[in-house]
Amino acid sequence: MAIARAAGMLLGVDVGGTFTDAALLDGERLWTAKVPTTPEDQSLGVGSAVDDVLARAGADASEVTAFTHGMTVGTNALLERSGAPTALVSTRGFSDLLDIARQNRPSLYHPCEGRPPALVEPELRFEAAERVAPQGEIEALEDGEIERIADALDDSPAESVAICLLFSFLDPSHEQRLAAALRERRPERHVSASHEVLPQFREYERCSTTVIDAYLSPLLGRYLSRLTESCGERGLVEPQVMRSSGGTATASEAARSGAWSVLSGPAGGAVGAGVLARIAGDGSALGLDMGGTSCDVCVVDGGSVRRTDSLEIGGRPIQLPMVDVHTVGAGGGSIGWRDPGGALRVGPRSAGAEPGPACYGRGGTQPTVTDANLVLGYLAADSRLAGGVELDVAAAERALTELGSSVDLGLVETAEGIVRVANQEMVRALRVATVERGIDPRGYALLPFGGAGPMHAAGIAAELEISTILCPRASGVLSALGLIAAGRRRDTAHTVLLSGDELTAGRIAGEVQRLADAASDGLEGAEIEAVYEMRYRGQSFELPVPGPVRPDPAELGEAFAAEHESRYGYRDPEGELELVHIRVAAAVPGPEPRPRAAESGAMEESRRRAHFNGESLEARILRGEPAAGLEAEGPCVFELPEATLVLPPGWRASVDATGTIAARRDA
């Protein structure tokens, strides 16, 4: 008998450092899959995940009406310095801008710690004889100078070019002429111009962001071309690509602007955390995405993840709108080791997908967090992971015993130590995202996801005095579910520097309308969001103030003063206000997935011994998809299809209609 289906099936595939996750939503029915990531070509793992999840659903690729993809291609290339050979064209005298940076130390207490090397080699930096100042052109850009630079680039190995000229955010004419000439001369060579990537002041950040865009775009273009071709061969729709802002773009649009997709993978998880916080809680949650290689944390308020306009990745600033995610090197594959002082440490090195933890039986010999969880009884010895991996308890014990002998600890003590150290790394990340920004984590639920997140949630929640855990039924693939929920989004911004008599309602509305027209081009039914970055005249940095597209300057000033007082403890009634940047986003909301819980009786129940706070206790084991209304109390282990939730004594859990496990700690 044919299966009755909704009007269209929605597919999301997220590539992680160790596993590639897929989620397929057909109305309220959700199918999931998890396969090993293929680092040599991520599109191969994506294809395997698609085939797996379609087979589980008994569906054909032609039934999928939307496919959204999150990836780590850009992030990996940036961290591993494996992007395209890139040239930089700057104003004469400013070719060393990337080396000079902000003339500050990367680490206050490590004077000898250096910055990461610039992405552009010295021999690929070219200076243009031209100059634009705030008041206008000082030195013209001659046609002969454009020809000279083009000839020099043709003789270089540069596959991509970044153009960053002084004050191009005010007058982009020189960059426009240079970019047009280079694109016409060599259409196959990628050109990133700063007035297109980031039309804002602060020369170093603008240059860094433009260089990263040029460095990643050719690599991203080739990858997305292979992926699109693979989709066509399978009869699948062309993929939409998750961007760092938490919205999607077409594959061709994403390929042209590599810097916008650096946080593509983590953004999917953040959007998924927002969706689950809305439908299973009060909209306030701390997202904890622990995979095999790293852990990403985010703050969700009102069902929406917080955003930022600047982050450093690998020591290099990117000043573009993106979800506010903080990452640490603590994942299931993070390796435990002894430091020179004899202390037990964990990460940031990871066993990755190959060879993986020692218990995977693929040649790994170093002890990892996964090995520790297996020895402690949180994972079952007969568990079968993605890709058919069968766990080898003896291999995990050998690896942990060797490490334990070096730090004078027994087998179980070593395993508990690894888990505690890994938990502290994640607690530190959550403190950075909350306490250090004036947010009390006790007012939020902890929403763990990723393959390893729910195993560590209770220990982290206790450390932060959080009383509620929300664990989605699809927690192991929540990033893929978040991709399904993401809507189209396009962000843009411009430096305006308005103050005094220039700060009028008409002038502001005109700037917003110009940006909104550019952002919403091609996005039918887009909603316009505006953020105004303001400061008191003479200050060095701005505060973002959301507002309407036609704001009243007085109301905008009051909103800024209130935010300034909230952030810094005072307001300055006599201070002159300055509107520095206007940020505009055109957003088309995505679907709101509401998967339903499994039918009753879908779980298998058993018992096994596990270690909790130094004690070996018999724990209740629930394997499968939890049915609505199910209740349990710790010590208990939920073995979900792609993740494991561990609840120590003192926790009580119940399952809601969507399959989300809500666990609460006894007072």
Phi-psi category of residue 569: left, alpha or beta, with phi > 0 → left and psi -120 to 50 → alpha? left
Q: What is the pLDDT of residue 385?
A: 67
Report the alpha-carbon distance of residue 598 to residue 588 in Å, rounded.
31
Domain assignment present for residue 426? The answer is no
Domain assignment present for residue 405? The answer is no
Which of 455, 388, 397 shows the shortest CA–CA distance to 639? 455
Buried b (16+ CB within 10 A) or exposed e, 68-94: bbbbbbbbbbbeeeebbebbbbbbeeb
Report the alpha-carbon distance of residue 365 to residue 401 in Å, rounded.
11
For residues 376 and 415, the answer to whether their CB atoms sit within 8 Å is yes
Domain assignment present for residue 7? The answer is no
Report the alpha-carbon distance of residue 217 to residue 481 in Å, rounded.
26
For residues 66 and 590, the answer to whether their CB atoms sit within 8 Å is no
Domain assignment present for residue 461? The answer is no
pLDDT per position as a tens digit, 224-275: 999 999 999 999 999 999 999 999 999 999 999 999 999 998 899 999 999 9
Amino acid code (one letter) for 497: L
Same domain for 211 and 92: yes
Q: How many domains does the chain have?
A: 3
Q: How much is the average pLDDT of 608-626? A: 93
Q: How much is the average pLDDT of 172-198? A: 96
Q: What is the pLDDT of residue 591?
A: 85
Domain that holds residue 499: 488-588
Q: Which of 562, 588, 614 is the last residue of a domain?
A: 588
Q: What is the pLDDT of residue 601?
A: 64
At 255, list the tokens: 């390929």
Q: What is the pLDDT of residue 289?
A: 92
pLDDT tier at 1 (50, 70, 90 boundaries)?
A: very low
CATH number, domain of 566, equals 3.30.1490
Domain assignment present for residue 384? The answer is no
Which of 350, 336, 347, 327 shows the shortest CA–CA distance to 428? 327
* Cα-Cα-Cα-Cα dihedral sign, residues 614, 620, 625, 626: negative
Q: Is the pLDDT of residue 46 over 50?
A: yes
Report the alpha-carbon distance of residue 487 to residue 513 in Å, rounded.
22
Same domain for 518 and 630: no
Same domain for 661 and 527: no
Q: Is the pLDDT of residue 144 over 90?
A: yes
Same domain for 138 and 105: yes
Q: Is the pLDDT of residue 571 over 70?
A: yes
Same domain for 170 and 130: yes
CATH number, domain of 175, equals 3.40.50
Same domain for 581 and 610: no
Q: Is the pLDDT of residue 400 over 80?
A: yes
Beta bridge partners of 240: 68, 250
Same domain for 113 and 83: yes
Q: What is the pLDDT of residue 355?
A: 82
Same domain for 615 and 569: no
Same domain for 212 and 84: yes
Q: Is the pLDDT of residue 386 over 70?
A: no
pLDDT tier at 650 (50, 70, 90 boundaries)?
A: very high
Q: What is the pLDDT of residue 520?
A: 92
For residues 596 and 29, the answer to whether their CB atoms sit within 8 Å is yes
Q: Is the pLDDT of residue 533 over 80?
A: yes
pLDDT tier at 519 (50, 70, 90 boundaries)?
A: very high
Q: Which of 560, 588, 616 is the last residue of a domain?
A: 588
For residues 297 and 270, the answer to whether their CB atoms sit within 8 Å is no
Report the alpha-carbon distance of residue 132 to residue 34 in Å, rounded.
53
The contacts of residue 340 (CB under 8 Å, 6+ apart) are: none
Query: Helix 203-234 crosses helix 73-80 at what angle (to 10 degrees)?
Result: 130
Burial class (CB in 10 A: 0-12, 13-18, 19+), 301: middle
In the chain, the percentage of residues whose pLDDT exceeds 90 is 70
Domain assignment present for residue 281? The answer is no
**Distance, first Cα to last Cα, the chain:** 51
In whole numbers, what is the pLDDT of the chain averaged over residues? 91
Rounded to the nearest angstrom, the gap between the alpha carbon of residue 246 and the centroid of all alpha carbons in its chain is 9
Q: Is the pLDDT of residue 294 over 90?
A: no
pLDDT tier at 114 (50, 70, 90 boundaries)?
A: confident
Domain assignment present for residue 193? The answer is yes
Provide the pairing of β-strand 160-164 with 190-193: parallel
Q: How much is the average pLDDT of 349-362? A: 83
Q: What is the pLDDT of residue 108?
A: 76
Q: Which of 200, 220, 240 is the last residue of a domain?
A: 220
Same domain for 568 and 649: no
Q: Is the pLDDT of residue 6 over 50?
A: no
Q: What is the pLDDT of residue 81?
A: 87
> When comparing pLDDT for 77 and 373, which is higher?
373
Which span out of 139-148, 259-268, 435-444, 593-602 was modeled with the highest average pLDDT? 139-148
CA angle 41, 46, 52 (to 5 degrees): 135
Report the alpha-carbon distance of residue 295 to residue 334 in Å, rounded.
10
Same domain for 661 and 562: no
Q: What is the pLDDT of residue 7?
A: 52
Domain assignment present for residue 495? The answer is yes
The SS3 of residue 290 is strand
Same domain for 89 and 186: yes
Q: How many CB atoms lie within 10 A of CB 261?
A: 30
